[in-house]
A and B are shown apart, each in its own frame.
Chain A
Amino acid sequence: MLEKNYLWRIYWRLAGVIMVCVVIALAVVSFFSHRVFDRELVPETEQKAATVGASVRALVLKATSYGIDFSQLYGVEQTFAEVFEENPEFAYMAITNTEGNVLFARGTEPIGARSHFRNPVVLQIAHETTELSKAARVGQQYIVSMPINDDGKPLGVLHVGIDAAFVDHVLLEVLLDVVVVLVVSLFFTLELLNFMAGARLASGLGEFARQVDRMRSGDFTATARIRANDEIGRLLRRIDSAIDHLNVRYEFLVGELQDKLRTATAQRREALKPAQDALEGISKRLRFGSAPEATDGDEMNLNRIRAPLFAFILAEELTRSFLPSYVNQLIVAIPGISPQVVIGLPIMLFMLIVALGQPYLGSWSERVGRRKAMLVGAIVATIGFAGTALAYNLYDLILWRSLCALGYAMVFVAAQGYVLDRTGHQNRAQGFALFIGAIMVATVCGPSIGGILADNIGYRLSFGVSALMSLFSILAIMRLPTTEVVLPTGKPTRGPRMREIMALIVNRRFMTLTGLAAMPAKVILTGVCFYLVPLYIVSIGNTSAMAGRMLMVYAVMMVLIVPLSASLSDATMRRDRYVSVGLIISGLSGLLLLLSDSFLVLFGVVFLLGLGQALSIAAQSALVAEHCQEEIRIYGNDAVYGVYRLLERLGNALGPLIASLLVILWGYQGSFVALSALVLFCGIAFTIATHGSEWQPAAPAHS
């Protein structure tokens, strides 16, 4: 028996094999590049130590040339300290005399240094008159030793210790980048696989499964489909020709029987009765003839939205990890507004435009066509990205970012509409899984890659890459089918009306869910991930790449946990419990910073935040339908969800504002803690509000 699931299993198995190959190849490449780096880094640093050491030696020789006794030099440790200040990779410096006794030293002396200094091979260095330096591993350091020799008269040896931990740290940084690239490559490969082969294979296998299903149910009608010229297509063509053959034989049989019946006598007719019954039985059980022309290709066309959507969302996601730092560079003092708030301003405005624009852009994209709407949106955003890359100061930056926001809202809404148009009730969830999937992959890949880009080619060029990405999406959108699917039943969607917004905003049940769960969740998401993390990470001397890695942790949590929690919350326990638990976990995340301010703790913060959000996100919107039935009955599904989404997105816009105000009051760490405490409070309040009661819809306050 051939099931569709079986074919999907084959597809995933194939995809799995390809992924494993990719992972192995990447792992091997990573391993070797890491080893090469390891091999090159230490000599590079040793060379630097020799150069820095030479300048210290020159100073020492200058002092002795003025008649100061070598052992009576003063302020040598101070010189060492100044060297350390400029070169954090050096952990120890020492000058020994010709016997190997330490005269001057500063920093952490590695274990075994004293005996190393007395080693005859090391002592011999003092007699060298050339620009020689020798390196050796001593304890936890690489010690670079060079002679202090006054024109043939050996004075002593200068030792510079390179901290192995520093080298390890650099290597760890590189390793983390390699891991990021690995993860991103993995997702990219999946995405490409899906784009190039997957969609085709999936539709081919789906077609095959449908054909087999049809035959199993006795449908042998001939189809006039054009089969793809691949293995599955050829197989299907053979099935088609077999079906054609069967049809011909059936027709022949029917014709022959009818002929015989027409010419036969009554007796003969009686004798033919069993044959006629058998044939009738066959025609009842099985169907022959030609099938009606089926509308085909929706599933295939649905898949085609994925590539342009991914490319476009990626363009925006690339900027997440460094946008606040970039704004900080272009900041202009605005009287009366704290610079902290000003940094958050472009993000806030972006979210606000997306929130307010979406309801209205939905019906607009319906009117002009999804493809055209996406095209316009992508063009607007491309201009926005290019402008951002070339921004002169904060004011025009805000204009450019607004264009990006407008374009983002357009593309988002139109792509959503595209999926809606091409899915029915039975495959809508699948359609949205595809839509969300493209976005999630972009959120995994974007910030991390963007961070690495920003660190290496600068903020402006990174925005240029975003513009390029957005440009790619335009090309991909142009390849979408030009024919729009118009749903016969669909009445035009509309934005929520003010009357509905006002009525719902004072509705207790609706606001418990929206005000205590949905909005706080978004506030902490944008406040922490888009504002605080990028700024705080850089403020404690880390890189944009590190901020990108943090945001990747969040996105990976979402990708891993959301499907799990979505199916679990349906199966095991009440959805409001998932929301409660999710909110409380999110609310605890920032409190971790009370323990320590290390960036490792920040990983924990982002991890918990991702976990909390992932647990609650799927359950939240389902809860609206579950608990606001009365409201949905009065105002309609579209209106209730419209207001819900609007408020949720306003939460997105509020996040950076609230976070920045908290930064003014209590600094970055305080802001993390306070924002989390706020969400924790909302989570507890939500739990109490929904506790015990079945939360039955009561009579609405207004009608």
Chain B
Amino acid sequence: MIRALLALFIVSLTLVGDGDARAQASTRPYRIYAITFRGMTDVEKGFQDYFAARRIPVQITWRDLNRENSRMSGFLEEIKRTKPDLVYTWGTSVTLGVVGTYDQVDPAVNITDIPVVFTLVAAPVLAKIVRDLKNPGRNVTGVFHVAPTEAQIRAMASYRPFKSIGILYTPTEQNSVVVVEEVREVSKRLGFTVIAKPLRLDANKKVTAEGAPEMVRELKQQNVEWLYLPPDSYLGTIAQKVVIPAAMAVGLPAFASTEQLMETGAVAGLVSRYHSIGQFTAYKAEQILVNKVPPAKIPVETLTRFALQVRMDIAEQLKLPPPLPMFNYAELIVPKPEPAQPAAAQK
């Protein structure tokens, strides 16, 4: 069926190294105002590491939305008051809160006069952050992090071939809806079936985790061989507590599209490494701050190489060890509390 063609997915970001001579001579460091969605991640570490490696002096003010949109207005007011050189936004929600969609910008609320660099937005065009990836056209640029859908499907098939996959997604998240469509397109070409189930909405048309475990069980009964986790913000918040346990209970392996979903307990995923994403985001910021390129002219891009990650503990629980050739190229993750046990086979 599907013969996966996976080269090396080890991220190698060689942007660092084309001369660090641009170290700023001026004594005043660049002031960056950074807003995260759920605290500090590896992305922020990569972001800071890049500046350190390039010896670009930056002074970053960290703010965390902590998944509460109500905090946004306070941050916006602070930005307008302190006038930083650059604003850094993590994820679709934060980015939209800061810059608004391109067709509904309110200069009274949104930031328009300060360059904004976003990161970890799965689908910047669909989220209406920019009209065109190559040519953002507004004072915003950034980095997205999802591998091409077909590459993800092929990676899944190289782990275990399948005839049918199931997807859970948030119907109100446009980017999820589009990824589901893309998976359907790929399925026609490669020949497999897709069973996609939208999460339920409550009375207020707000998405809810209610019924998600049942949906996972239904998918298993419909003989899907994989549960694909699209780059879906809400799904990301319920995966670890609701979706993955239900899938593990019925022995359904999950495949992650982002490193965040990977951490919730998917057995495998084709993802961008957060650290590399952070470095790449910092590179975009450098273009604006040091090279004085207007963000409107800096293309929105992603990395060209992705990591195929495998959670060995999950693989063992599911009794689905990765195929032997994958040991050559996959990034095998063994959770910290339980380091690799070479003698495990003895039991």
Residues of A within 8 A of B (CB): 59-60, 62-70, 72-76, 78-79, 82, 150, 153
B151 at the interface (CB under 8 A from A): no
Minimum distance in angstroms from A74 CB to a CB of chain B: 5
B325 and A69 form a contact (CB under 8 A) = no
A-B contact pairs, 21 of them (CB 8 A): A59-B328, A60-B324, A63-B324, A63-B327, A64-B342, A66-B312, A66-B332, A66-B340, A67-B316, A67-B340, A67-B344, A68-B316, A68-B345, A72-B321, A73-B324, A75-B323, A75-B326, A76-B324, A78-B323, A78-B324, A153-B346
B324: contacting residue among A65, A75, A150, A153, CB under 8 A: A75
Measured between beta carbons, the chain B residues less than 8 angstroms from A69 are 345
Report the nearest B residue to A76, measured CB to CB: B324
A74 and B321 form a contact (CB under 8 A) = yes
Please judge, given known A-B contacts A68-B316, A70-B345, whether A59 and B327 are in contact too, CB under 8 Å: yes
| Alpha-carbon distance A483/B322, docked complex (angstroms) | 85
Measured between beta carbons, the chain B residues less than 8 angstroms from A66 are 312, 327, 332, 334, 340, 344
Measured between beta carbons, the chain B residues less than 8 angstroms from A79 are 323-325
Residues of B within 8 A of A (CB): 312, 315-316, 319-328, 332, 334, 340-342, 344-346
B320 and A74 form a contact (CB under 8 A) = yes
B321 and A73 form a contact (CB under 8 A) = yes
A67 and B345 form a contact (CB under 8 A) = yes
B325 and A68 form a contact (CB under 8 A) = no
| Alpha-carbon distance A59/B346, docked complex (angstroms) | 18
| Alpha-carbon distance A72/B326, docked complex (angstroms) | 15
Measured between beta carbons, the chain B residues less than 8 angstroms from A74 are 320-324
| Alpha-carbon distance A671/B325, docked complex (angstroms) | 43
Cβ-closest 10 pairs across A and B: A75-B323, A67-B344, A68-B321, A65-B342, A75-B324, A79-B324, A62-B327, A74-B321, A76-B324, A66-B312
| Alpha-carbon distance A62/B323, docked complex (angstroms) | 12
Minimum distance in angstroms from A85 CB to a CB of chain B: 12
A75 and B325 form a contact (CB under 8 A) = yes
| Alpha-carbon distance A335/B312, docked complex (angstroms) | 56
Report the nearest A residue to B319, measured CB to CB: A72
Report the nearest B residue to A153, measured CB to CB: B346
A63 and B328 form a contact (CB under 8 A) = no
| Alpha-carbon distance A82/B5, docked complex (angstroms) | 12
Report the nearest B residue to A66, measured CB to CB: B312
Please judge, given known A-B contacts A67-B341, A69-B345, A74-B320, whether A82 and B327 are in contact too, CB under 8 Å: no
| Alpha-carbon distance A72/B312, docked complex (angstroms) | 14
Of A69, A72, A74, which is in contact with the most chain B CB atoms at under 10 Å from its CB?
Answer: A74
Report the nearest B residue to A71, measured CB to CB: B345
Minimum distance in angstroms from A160 CB to a CB of chain B: 15
Of A62, A68, A76, A150, which is in contact with the most chain B CB atoms at under 10 Å from its CB?
Answer: A68
Measured between beta carbons, the chain A residues less than 8 angstroms from B328 are 59
| Alpha-carbon distance A75/B3, docked complex (angstroms) | 13
Measured between beta carbons, the chain B residues less than 8 angstroms from A70 are 345
B340 and A75 form a contact (CB under 8 A) = no
| Alpha-carbon distance A74/B322, docked complex (angstroms) | 7
Minimum distance in angstroms from A250 CB to a CB of chain B: 102
Q: A67-B340, A68-B315, A150-B342 are in contact. List 6 more A-B contacts (CB 8 A).
A: A63-B327, A66-B344, A67-B342, A73-B324, A75-B323, A75-B324
| Alpha-carbon distance A133/B324, docked complex (angstroms) | 22
Minimum distance in angstroms from B346 CB to a CB of chain A: 8
The A interface is mostly helix, strand or loop, or mixed, namely: helix
Measured between beta carbons, the chain B residues less than 8 angstroms from A153 are 346
A78 and B325 form a contact (CB under 8 A) = yes
Minimum distance in angstroms from A56 CB to a CB of chain B: 8
| Alpha-carbon distance A73/B322, docked complex (angstroms) | 8
| Alpha-carbon distance A82/B316, docked complex (angstroms) | 25
Report the nearest A residue to B332, measured CB to CB: A66
Report the nearest B residue to A55, measured CB to CB: B328
Measured between beta carbons, the chain A residues less than 8 angstroms from B325 are 59, 75, 78-79, 82
Minimum distance in angstroms from B327 CB to a CB of chain A: 5
Please judge, given known A-B contacts A66-B334, A67-B316, A68-B316, whether A75 and B322 are in contact too, CB under 8 Å: yes
Measured between beta carbons, the chain A residues less than 8 angstroms from B323 are 74-75, 78-79
| Alpha-carbon distance A62/B326, docked complex (angstroms) | 11
Report the nearest A residue to B328, measured CB to CB: A59
Measured between beta carbons, the chain A residues less than 8 angstroms from B320 are 74
Measured between beta carbons, the chain A residues less than 8 angstroms from B334 are 66
Minimum distance in angstroms from A81 CB to a CB of chain B: 9
Minimum distance in angstroms from B293 CB to a CB of chain A: 39
B324 and A59 form a contact (CB under 8 A) = yes
| Alpha-carbon distance A18/B328, docked complex (angstroms) | 62
A64 and B324 form a contact (CB under 8 A) = no
A64: contacting residue among B315, B332, B345, CB under 8 A: B345
Report the nearest B residue to A75, measured CB to CB: B323
Measured between beta carbons, the chain B residues less than 8 angstroms from A82 are 325
Measured between beta carbons, the chain B residues less than 8 angstroms from A76 are 324
| Alpha-carbon distance A64/B332, docked complex (angstroms) | 13
Measured between beta carbons, the chain B residues less than 8 angstroms from A62 are 327
Report the nearest B residue to A104, measured CB to CB: B324
Of B320, B321, B340, B341, which is in contact with the most chain A CB atoms at under 10 Å from its CB?
Answer: B321
Of B321, B342, B345, which is in contact with the most chain A CB atoms at under 10 Å from its CB?
Answer: B345
Measured between beta carbons, the chain B residues less than 8 angstroms from A65 are 340, 342
Minimum distance in angstroms from A84 CB to a CB of chain B: 13
| Alpha-carbon distance A74/B267, docked complex (angstroms) | 15
| Alpha-carbon distance A335/B43, docked complex (angstroms) | 51
Report the nearest A residue to B3, measured CB to CB: A78
A67 and B312 form a contact (CB under 8 A) = yes
Report the nearest B residue to A80, measured CB to CB: B324
Minimum distance in angstroms from A272 CB to a CB of chain B: 118
Measured between beta carbons, the chain A residues less than 8 angstroms from B312 are 66-67
| Alpha-carbon distance A261/B94, docked complex (angstroms) | 150
Report the nearest B residue to A70, measured CB to CB: B345
Of A60, A63, A153, which is in contact with the most chain B CB atoms at under 10 Å from its CB?
Answer: A63
Measured between beta carbons, the chain A residues less than 8 angstroms from B324 are 59-60, 63, 73-76, 78-79
| Alpha-carbon distance A57/B346, docked complex (angstroms) | 18
Measured between beta carbons, the chain A residues less than 8 angstroms from B322 are 63, 74-75
| Alpha-carbon distance A198/B94, docked complex (angstroms) | 99
Report the nearest B residue to A81, measured CB to CB: B325
Minimum distance in angstroms from A148 CB to a CB of chain B: 12
Measured between beta carbons, the chain B residues less than 8 angstroms from A72 are 319, 321
| Alpha-carbon distance A59/B324, docked complex (angstroms) | 7
| Alpha-carbon distance A65/B323, docked complex (angstroms) | 14
Minimum distance in angstroms from A13 CB to a CB of chain B: 68
Minimum distance in angstroms from B81 CB to a CB of chain A: 53
Measured between beta carbons, the chain B residues less than 8 angstroms from A78 are 323-325
Minimum distance in angstroms from B331 CB to a CB of chain A: 12
| Alpha-carbon distance A73/B321, docked complex (angstroms) | 7
Minimum distance in angstroms from A55 CB to a CB of chain B: 9
Report the nearest B residue to A68, measured CB to CB: B321
Measured between beta carbons, the chain A residues less than 8 angstroms from B346 are 153
Measured between beta carbons, the chain A residues less than 8 angstroms from B332 are 66
Measured between beta carbons, the chain B residues less than 8 angstroms from A60 are 324
Of B322, B325, B334, B344, which is in contact with the most chain A CB atoms at under 10 Å from its CB?
Answer: B325
Minimum distance in angstroms from A557 CB to a CB of chain B: 47
Please judge, given known A-B contacts A68-B316, A68-B345, A69-B345, whether A63 and B321 are in contact too, CB under 8 Å: yes
| Alpha-carbon distance A230/B321, docked complex (angstroms) | 88
| Alpha-carbon distance A76/B321, docked complex (angstroms) | 11
Measured between beta carbons, the chain A residues less than 8 angstroms from B321 are 63, 68, 72-74
| Alpha-carbon distance A72/B319, docked complex (angstroms) | 8
Minimum distance in angstroms from A345 CB to a CB of chain B: 37
Measured between beta carbons, the chain A residues less than 8 angstroms from B340 are 65-67
| Alpha-carbon distance A401/B173, docked complex (angstroms) | 68
Measured between beta carbons, the chain A residues less than 8 angstroms from B315 are 68
| Alpha-carbon distance A68/B345, docked complex (angstroms) | 6
Minimum distance in angstroms from A314 CB to a CB of chain B: 48
Report the nearest B residue to A151, measured CB to CB: B342
